[in-house]
Amino acid sequence: MKNIIFSLLLACIFAGQCFAYVLMTPAAMGTDNIAVQIFSSSTPIKLADSKMSMYGPKMIYGLTDDWDLIAKLGNVTTNLSGSDSGATDIGIAGKYTIPTSKFKRPADVDLAAVIGYDLISGKDIDWTMINVGLIGSKTLKTNLDVYAAFYYMMNNNKFTGGRSENSNNSLWGLGAKYQFNKKFSGLMEIMNYTMSGDSYQTFSFAVQYEM
């Protein structure tokens, strides 16, 4: 069973970030503002009766009016026929919200560029990831934003008893953020990528509190 789980993990890694999620809009937090998320993300795997999941906290801090710093701590689980294998994801990212004056676009449309670094560690694997991407959103109502994201990821994987491997992957998807009140909001999204002709989807949601 352990070998099956490890093989499944290996196949997922070559596809890229199996539990890929964004769960943020392009809008900036604003200088010294802080938001805290509790998120959950799940990717069904077609290779077997299995799924990869991640959950944990994420913090977003407004460094300036245009730059946000994002930090997360995720618990990664692969479940195959009732048997679990786990890892930990520590991630940090920067998001630059591009001012409207830089491009001619409607005032209710936001655009941001993101760069991030993740370190995923488990019993049999050390996985580093660099990702760059773009997020665009449109405000439909005063309390509802829809967004689209495209990311490109560069992966380096080191396996216990094996060689290092490199892989690159792109992903894309759609999401929505609903503002319940001035402090609380909820986010839902679906991200997509392909591997060997098969399509994979990651389903994610989060609750966010703005301090």
pLDDT tens sequence across 150-196: 998 887 766 666 666 677 778 899 999 999 999 999 999 999 876 55
pLDDT of residue 110: 93
Instruction: Answer yes or no: is pLDDT of 101 > 60.
Output: yes
Q: Taking the CB of residue 147, how many other CB atoms lie within 10 A of it?
A: 24
Instruction: Answer yes or no: is pLDDT of 57 > 80.
Output: yes
How do 144-159 and 164-179 pair as beta strands? Answer: antiparallel
Which of 80, 71, 40 is closest to 56 using CA atoms? Answer: 40
pTM passes above 0.85: no
What beta strand segments (E) does 13-82 contain? 34-45, 50-62, 67-80
pLDDT of residue 35: 96
103-160 confidence digits (pLDDT tens): 777 878 999 999 999 888 777 667 788 889 999 999 998 899 999 999 988 877 666 6
Put residue 206 in one of left, alpha, beta given phi > 0 → left and psi -120 to 50 → alpha: beta
Residue 70, CA distances (Å) to 57, 94, 149 in order: 11, 6, 16
pLDDT of residue 160: 63
How far apart CA 56 and CA 74 sit, in angstroms, is 5
Give me the amino acid identity at 25. Answer: T
Is residue 66 within 8 A of residue 28, CB to CB? The reply is yes
pLDDT of residue 25: 94
| Residue tagged 């989060």 (tokens) | 206
Residue 137, Cβ density class (10 Å: 0-12 exposed, 13-18 middle, ≥19 buried) = buried
| Residue tagged 């370190």 (tokens) | 119
Q: What percent of the chain has pLDDT over 90?
A: 46
What beta strand segments (E) does the chain contain? 34-45, 50-62, 67-80, 83-97, 109-122, 125-141, 144-159, 164-179, 184-195, 198-210
69-87 confidence digits (pLDDT tens): 999 998 887 766 556 667 7
Is residue 114 within 8 A of residue 94, CB to CB? The reply is yes
Q: What CATH number is attached to the domain comprising 180?
A: 2.40.128
Is residue 35 within 8 A of residue 29, CB to CB? The reply is yes
How many structural domains compose the chain? 1
Domain span at residue 122?
2-210
pLDDT of residue 10: 52
Using alpha carbons only, give the angle 111, 72, 194 rounded to the nearest 5 degrees: 65
